[in-house]
């Protein structure tokens, strides 16, 4: 494991040698650590020998936000020890006994084996253990499909920003490109290397058919391993989708296998304590889209408050109800759609969405579709310059909500606030988590231990 060792005394120097003997690579041993060092060294873990080092919990929180694992060696009355124990970071006594050093190495082996998760350390270090527990237990909807009745509504932009907002707020989020028309999610997140793609996963599962069924645990692990983790946001994992050349792939003709894989992705993410978001294409009849929508607990329909979007939304909902009615009956189809669909108006100017929503309700009534749909999300239009940078720059941190957290651009405040309001329909505690990390506009970030 690549280790950044913090400290300048005899204990730190001895530990440097012991780490090397255990096969770890100490990329540097430094006395003082600040945020600037995150970009100077390439490392996986930070080992802090607190009495011999100069750093702060705030700097370590920033390291956790980048997906770094943290291990603390500190005295009983040391403020760093109190912080580490308060947020659940592994903490050992100073000076460490032989048993303490062995425990440190054991924790590091657990980390290398994937049993000490960076996302859990992120949650605890950034939010604290109490809020982390509330977030994990207070998720109202864990299986989310985000779709649109037509192109150009900003569906993928909403899916990506919702996933990033949840992940920044401490929720392990699994983002899936389930757009059968060749989605652009991989480009939004600037992903060059990935574990696999949706089409790759489908091919793999079809190839395994007939070779024996895996146990539920092994199958879930295989689905989770298909996701690619983002190094600078350990709570977000991504599965890119199909590309243009894949759209006619023969595996897409095997609807049962496609449904099994989609359901498996949902179930694996939820079993791992996370939220699964699927970016679903505009055609609900496509085999991948149909499977993602059918298994979802919440379906977000992203539209602009414009006549073409309203007309297509009416057709989309009517088509979904007709399709379901053939299987479960019209009343059950209404109940399914009404209980799951959440409308998200995007690129809104002022309160113009109100008249648009009224027109949509009238259009549905004319189709004899009685649904109590409300505008669950109302996302304001964003400065075109910032919107273009969010997609075209070479930094994934320029994604709108991520950029707001880092730079606090006033122009992005209304968008961040509205997006978190929409996210709260799925995870009610998300606004509390976002306020803790400074993502929610007009919310003060809690001070660290050394500022109290």
Task: Indicate the helix (H) or strand (E) that contains 138.
Answer: none
pLDDT confidence band for 114 (50 / 70 / 90): low
pLDDT above 70 covers what percent of the chain? 92
- Distances 315 to 104, 310, 372 between C-alpha atoms, Å: 60, 9, 17
With CA atoms as reference, report the closest residue to 450 among 79, 17, 70. 79
Instruction: Please tell me whether residues 279 and 392 are part of one structural domain.
Output: yes
pLDDT confidence band for 139 (50 / 70 / 90): low
Instruction: Please tell me whether residues 127 and 180 are part of one structural domain.
Output: no
With CA atoms as reference, report the closest residue to 426 among 263, 299, 323. 299
Domains of the chain: total: 2
Tell me: the pLDDT tens digits for 213-255?
445 555 678 899 999 988 889 899 999 988 767 777 788 888 8
Tell me: the pLDDT tens digits for 140-156?
789 999 999 998 999 99
Residue 448 lies in a domain: no
Residue 45 lies in a domain: yes
Instruction: Please tell me whether residues 129 and 164 are part of one structural domain.
Output: no
Helices 57-65, 79-87: axis angle to 10 degrees equals: 30
**Domain range holding 102?**
2-133
Tell me: the pLDDT tens digits for 57-66?
889 988 888 8
| CB-CB contact of 52 with 74 (8 Å) | no
Higher pLDDT, residue 393 or 66: 393
Distance CA 197, CA 226 (A): 7
The whole-number pLDDT of residue 448 equals 43
pLDDT at 452 over 70: no
| CB-CB contact of 70 with 64 (8 Å) | yes
Instruction: Please tell me whether residues 326 and 209 are part of one structural domain.
Output: yes
The whole-number pLDDT of residue 432 equals 84
The whole-number pLDDT of residue 430 equals 87
Mean pLDDT of 370-397: 91
Q: What is the DSSP letter of 89?
A: -
The whole-number pLDDT of residue 66 equals 83
Residue 380 lies in a domain: yes
Distance CA 69, CA 435 (A): 23
pLDDT at 446 over 50: no
pLDDT confidence band for 123 (50 / 70 / 90): confident
Instruction: Please tell me whether residues 166 and 226 are part of one structural domain.
Output: yes
Residue 249 lies in a domain: yes
The whole-number pLDDT of residue 372 equals 76
Instruction: Please tell me whether residues 405 and 336 are part of one structural domain.
Output: yes
Instruction: Please tell me whether residues 128 and 206 are part of one structural domain.
Output: no
pLDDT at 135 over 80: no
Mean pLDDT lowest among 127-136, 403-412, 433-442: 127-136
Here the CATH number for the domain that contains residue 355 is 3.40.50.300
Instruction: Please tell me whether residues 398 and 317 are part of one structural domain.
Output: yes
The whole-number pLDDT of residue 49 equals 95
Here the CATH number for the domain that contains residue 80 is 3.40.50.2300
Q: Give the end of a domain, one of 91, 108, 133.
A: 133
Residue 445 lies in a domain: no
Residue 442 lies in a domain: no
Instruction: Please tell me whether residues 119 and 185 are part of one structural domain.
Output: no
The whole-number pLDDT of residue 17 equals 94
Tell me: the pLDDT tens digits for 256-312?
999 999 999 999 999 888 899 999 998 888 899 989 998 999 999 999 999 999 999
pLDDT at 332 over 90: no
The whole-number pLDDT of residue 429 equals 82
Q: Give the end of a domain, one of 108, 133, 158.
A: 133
With CA atoms as reference, report the closest residue to 184 among 149, 153, 218, 157. 157
Residue 440 lies in a domain: no
Tell me: the pLDDT tens digits for 67-96?
888 999 998 888 898 888 887 788 899 999
The whole-number pLDDT of residue 447 equals 40
Residue 433 lies in a domain: no
Instruction: Please tell me whether residues 20 and 158 are part of one structural domain.
Output: no
Tell me: the pLDDT tens digits for 164-216?
999 999 899 999 999 988 778 889 999 888 999 999 999 888 887 655 544 55
Helix (H, G, I), strand (E, B) or coil at 93: strand
Q: Give the end of a domain, one of 105, 133, 161.
A: 133
The whole-number pLDDT of residue 129 equals 65
Instruction: Please tell me whether residues 276 and 399 are part of one structural domain.
Output: yes
Tell me the pLDDT of the chain averaged across its residues: 86
Instruction: Please tell me whether residues 256 and 401 are part of one structural domain.
Output: yes
Distance CA 360, CA 345 (A): 12
Mean pLDDT lowest among 6-10, 106-110, 276-280: 106-110
Mean pLDDT of 8-25: 94
């Amino acid at each position: 494991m690549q280790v950044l060792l913090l400290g300048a005394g005899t204990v730190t120097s001895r530990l440097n040698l012991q780490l090397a003997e255990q096969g770890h690579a100490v990329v540097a041993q430094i006395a003082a650590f600040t945020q600037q060092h995150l970009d100077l060294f390439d490392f996986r873990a930070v080992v802090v020998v607190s009495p011999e080092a100069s750093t702060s919990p705030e700097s370590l929180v920033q390291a956790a936000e980048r997906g770094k694992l943290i291990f603390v060696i500190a005295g009983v009355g040391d403020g760093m020890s109190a912080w580490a124990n308060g947020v659940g970071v592994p903490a050992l006594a100073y000076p460490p006994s032989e048993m303490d050093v062995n425990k440190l190495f054991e924790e590091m082996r657990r980390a290398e084996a994937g049993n000490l998760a960076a996302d859990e350390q992120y949650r605890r270090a950034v939010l604290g253990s109490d809020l982390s527990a509330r977030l994990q237990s207070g998720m109202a909807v864990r299986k989310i499909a985000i779709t649109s009745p037509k192109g150009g509504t900003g569906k993928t932009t909403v899916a990506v920003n919702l996933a990033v907002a949840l992940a920044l707020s401490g929720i392990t989020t699994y983002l899936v490109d389930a757009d059968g028309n060749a989605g652009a999610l991989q480009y939004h997140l600037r992903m060059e290397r990935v574990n696999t793609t949706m089409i790759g996963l489908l091919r793999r599962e079809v190839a395994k058919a007939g070779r024996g069924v895996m146990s539920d645990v092994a199958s879930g692990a295989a689905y989770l391993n298909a996701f690619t983790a983002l190094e600078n946001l350990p709570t977000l994992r991504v599965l890119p989708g199909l590309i243009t050349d894949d759209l006619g792939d023969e595996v897409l003709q095997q609807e049962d296998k496609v449904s099994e894989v989609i359901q498996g992705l949902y179930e694996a993410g939820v079993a791992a304590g996370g939220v699964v978001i699927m970016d679903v294409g505009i055609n609900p009849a496509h085999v991948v889209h149909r499977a993602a929508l059918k298994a979802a607990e919440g379906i977000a329909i992203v539209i602009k408050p414009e006549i073409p979007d309203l007309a297509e939304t009416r057709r989309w909902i009517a088509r979904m109800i007709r399709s379901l009615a053939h299987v479960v009956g019209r009343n059950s189809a209404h109940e399914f759609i009404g209980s799951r669909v959440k409308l998200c108006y995007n690129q809104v100017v002022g309160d113009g969405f109100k008249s648009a929503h009224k027109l949509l309700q009238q259009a549905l009534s004319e189709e004899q579709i009685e649904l109590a749909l409300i505008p669950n999300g109302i996302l304001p239009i964003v400065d075109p310059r910032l919107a273009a940078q969010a997609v075209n720059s070479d930094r994934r941190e320029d994604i709108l909500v991520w950029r707001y957290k880092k730079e606090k651009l006033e122009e992005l405040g209304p968008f961040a606030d509205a997006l978190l309001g929409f996210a709260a329909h799925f995870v009610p505690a998300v606004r509390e988590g976002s306020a803790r990390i400074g993502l929610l506009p007009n919310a003060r970030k809690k001070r660290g231990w050394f500022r109290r």
